[in-house]
Amino acid sequence: MGGLGIPSGDFSNYGSGIQKEWIVTNGLGGYASSTVIGANSRTYHGLLVAAMNPPVDRTVLLSSLDEEVEVDGILHRLAVHKYPDTVYPNGFEYLTKFKLDPFPTTVHEIKDVKIKRCIFMVHEKNTTIIRYKVTSDTDNAILRLHPLTSMRNFHYTTRSNNIDLLQEASESGTILKNGDISLSIRSNARYVPGGTWYYNFEYDTERMRGQAYQEDCYNPGYFEIELKKGKNHFFVVASTEELPDLKMDDIDDLYDQEVMRLNLLAENSGLEDTFALKLMPAADSFIVKRASTRSKSIIAGYHWFSDWGRDAMIALPGLTLVTGRFDDAAQILSSFAENCRDGLIPNRFADSSEFQPDYNTVDASLWFIHAVGRYFAYTGDTGFVKKMWPAVQDIIRNYKQGTHFGIQMDSDDLMTHCGQLTWMDAKIGDFEVTPRNGKTCEINALWYNALKTASHLAEHLDKDPSPFIALADGVKHNFSWMFWNPDEKCLFDRICVNEDGMVIKDQSIRPNQILAVSLPYTMLTRKKESGIVRRIEHDLLTPVGLRTLSQDNPCYKNRYVGDAVSRDIAYHNGTVWPWLMGPYVSAYTKVNSYSQECREHAQLLLLEFDGHLHESGIGSISEIFDGDYPHTPRGCISQAWSVAEVLRAYVEDVLNKGPVP
């Protein structure tokens, strides 16, 4: 896998430098992340953000590590920080190179000194390693490394007067404690203890989002290295564990092990295509261990999402099946099946272990059945599917009879539910931004797909498929005449009954209907499916995904900006979602009979994301984009279903490497 480099012009100043971010993860939900110039622009940035109860309870421990080089008595500071009305120091002036290869690597050049820094994490450990390779043409130079710590929940900021840090220093480093939280920082350089607060850091991205954006950080001391002429190798290790004394060879071995792990994942996937391989490290980053279930789960997005059921099930095929990680897929499915309650799998696990999972979703359980079906299509593993069968039955039984949140099959066999239970779930107080109560096109497409998947699995498990087939036939019989909009040659988005008892059919052109074409089991004629794809292409398709609402709708919002209320209103009213490009490509290739010509066109669509890998979250795909050109990336810098659906569609529909039907 080749590295991803950034042109030097993209980090020549503070404003451009903070637009590009990087992240490396540890398989526990923890991570290290910042901008390419090293200036933290979010409360979520930090060199060690540890998952104290994997994959949640994430805590910013080491905020940054400020380097300074003294050459011939002149001090050069490499850090970059934003304070009120000023940026200081301007370390980006010394930055000559940034590359993700496979970990974030920078090169700073100061007179006779060249500093190469690489940041990586130890897999399944809350441990970050910063490795330095310094070339000096002089003996008269000193490198100092100043750790800045905050020791707080990653959603919030801290101030010097609301934190009490204790330090246990030694020659090789220090242990900092804030109550039950402990941070160990070690190095092969000499540690000089101190104790200084830095005040009023500002995080510009949070300021623009209307969030708290100022905080203080604590500098417990510094590491000092007298550089020798030639090559000098140093490291700093930050961890939640008390570390033994480490040598440079130990650090190099840990680095090699992580590179080998990533290379092995690529090799085991069987994928050779360059673009697919570029997405492999990002795909790996979302697969995490969940301490409460002792099995794997999927983080929905970095920085702030935990593991969400809907996102996990949509992302599972792209993250695990097309990449050959079948054991991980089985663990993830098991983790959610174990938490199935009254036919519902969790909408999300909470950010803190203090809270129970939320179950307020109608589609997550249907996506779960879809994921089980895709797992079986890839593996033929009837033994595992048999273990999942009780959850599949429980979901269908509860959906048929009725469960929480008004989720229930109606007399016409179509599924109905209360509002804000689908993926378009934005809500401001009691105001439902995108009303979704009643019968929605995508939920009934998923309902039919789940019934047909269950009947298929039942046959292979020597179960009676006829009850599922009968229900599916009823859904198919009623779906088309209820949802087909003959004027627009596509589907109504939602059908509900208003307070006066009148049936209202929502004619908004939204992307939800693409699932009625893209799923393995669908109900419409090929002519109608082609009409949906044409309508989506005309009204919603962009180079980075599908808009959530057509531009001619009066509710359309062209930019996802402003405070939380403004962003929530735009979230599903025009904002582009890249994960929807996966279903679109699957639908497009299907209605065009998988011709070579349509596969080539689909490849061009998906390769549009290749440039984006250098644009925002380096090496990954953002959560959302603005609806209008230039489609600025917004939201999370790295989103599971964005990466997963682009990768899945590319492998299955372009490379034609999916399971045999």
Fill in the DSSP letter of residue 245.
P
Query: 317: closest CA among 539, 646, 655, 654?
Result: 646
Residues 301, 623 contacting (CB under 8 angstroms): yes
Question: In terms of C-beta density within 10 A (0-12 exposed, 13-18 middle, 19 or more buried), how is residue 622 classed?
Answer: buried
Residues 321, 329 contacting (CB under 8 angstroms): yes
With a pLDDT cut of 90, the percent of the chain lying above it is 93
Give the pLDDT of residue 394: 98
Beta bridge partners of 97: 107
C-alpha to C-alpha distances, 425 to 172, 351, 441, 586, nearest whole angstrom: 50, 18, 15, 24
Residues 436, 422 contacting (CB under 8 angstroms): yes
Q: Whole-number mean pLDDT of the chain?
A: 96
Query: Using CA atoms, how far apart are residues 282 and 641, in angstroms rounded to an integer?
Result: 11
pLDDT exceeds 50 at position 1 = no
pLDDT exceeds 60 at position 408 = yes
Q: Write the pLDDT tens digit of every residue in 59-112.
A: 999 999 999 999 999 999 999 999 999 999 999 999 999 999 999 999 999 989
Q: Which of 209-213, 268-272, 296-300, 437-441 has the lowest mean pLDDT?
A: 209-213
Q: What is the DSSP string of 438-506?
A: BEEHHHHHHHHHHHHHHHHHHHHTT---HHHHHHHHHHHHHHHHHHEETTTTEE-SEEEE-TTS-EEEE
- Give 36's pLDDT tier (boundaries 50, 70, 90): very high
Residue 541: strand, helix, or coil: strand
Q: Which of 130-144, 345-359, 453-467, 617-631 has the lowest mean pLDDT?
A: 345-359
pLDDT exceeds 90 at position 559 = yes
Work out the end-to-end distance of the chain between its first and last CA atoms, rounded to an integer number of angstroms. Answer: 31
Give the pLDDT of residue 32: 98
- Give 354's pLDDT tier (boundaries 50, 70, 90): low
Query: 619: closest CA among 98, 80, 37?
Result: 98
Q: Write the pLDDT tens digit of every residue in 48-74.
A: 999 999 999 999 999 999 999 999 999
Mean pLDDT of the 610-614 span: 96
How is residue 419 written in tokens? 């509002």
Query: Using CA atoms, how far apart are residues 141 and 74, in angstroms rounded to an integer?
Result: 9
Q: Write the pLDDT tens digit of every residue in 495-546.
A: 999 888 899 999 999 999 999 999 999 999 999 999 999 999 999 999 999 9
How is residue 55 written in tokens? 């994959």
Query: 299: closest CA among 343, 341, 332, 260?
Result: 332
Give the pLDDT of residue 220: 97
Mean pLDDT of the 195-208 span: 96
Query: Using CA atoms, how far apart are residues 444 and 413, in angstroms rounded to an integer?
Result: 9
Residues 547, 511 contacting (CB under 8 angstroms): yes
Backbone conformation region of residue 593, classed left if phi is above 0, alpha if psi is from -120 to 50, else beta:
left
Q: Write the pLDDT tens digit of every residue in 132-142.
A: 999 999 999 99
Q: What angle in degrees, to the nearest 10, is found between the helix axes of 364-379 and 382-401?
A: 160
Give the pLDDT of residue 5: 87
Give the pLDDT of residue 353: 64
Residue 195: strand, helix, or coil: strand
> Listing from the earlier edge strand, what are the strands of the sheet with 503-506?
439-440, 494-497, 503-506
- Give 243's pLDDT tier (boundaries 50, 70, 90): confident
- Provide the residue type at 401 as one letter: Q
Mean pLDDT of the 153-158 span: 95
Q: What is the pTM assigned to this prediction?
A: 0.96
Query: Using CA atoms, how far apart are residues 95 and 115, in angstroms rounded to an integer?
Result: 9
pLDDT exceeds 70 at position 351 = no
Residues 622, 642 contacting (CB under 8 angstroms): yes
- Give 144's pLDDT tier (boundaries 50, 70, 90): very high
Q: What angle in degrees, to the nearest 10, is found between the helix axes of 382-401 and 441-460?
A: 140
Mean pLDDT of the 333-341 span: 95
Mean pLDDT of the 160-173 span: 90
Radius of gyration of the chain (CA): 26
Query: Using CA atoms, how far apart are residues 628 and 432, in angstroms rounded to an integer?
Result: 24
Mean pLDDT of the 427-442 span: 95
- Please name each of the domains of the chain with its CATH number: 4-261 (2.70.98), 272-408 (no CATH), 410-523 (no CATH), 540-661 (no CATH)
Question: In terms of C-beta density within 10 A (0-12 exposed, 13-18 middle, 19 or more buried), how is residue 473 classed?
Answer: middle
pLDDT exceeds 90 at position 30 = yes
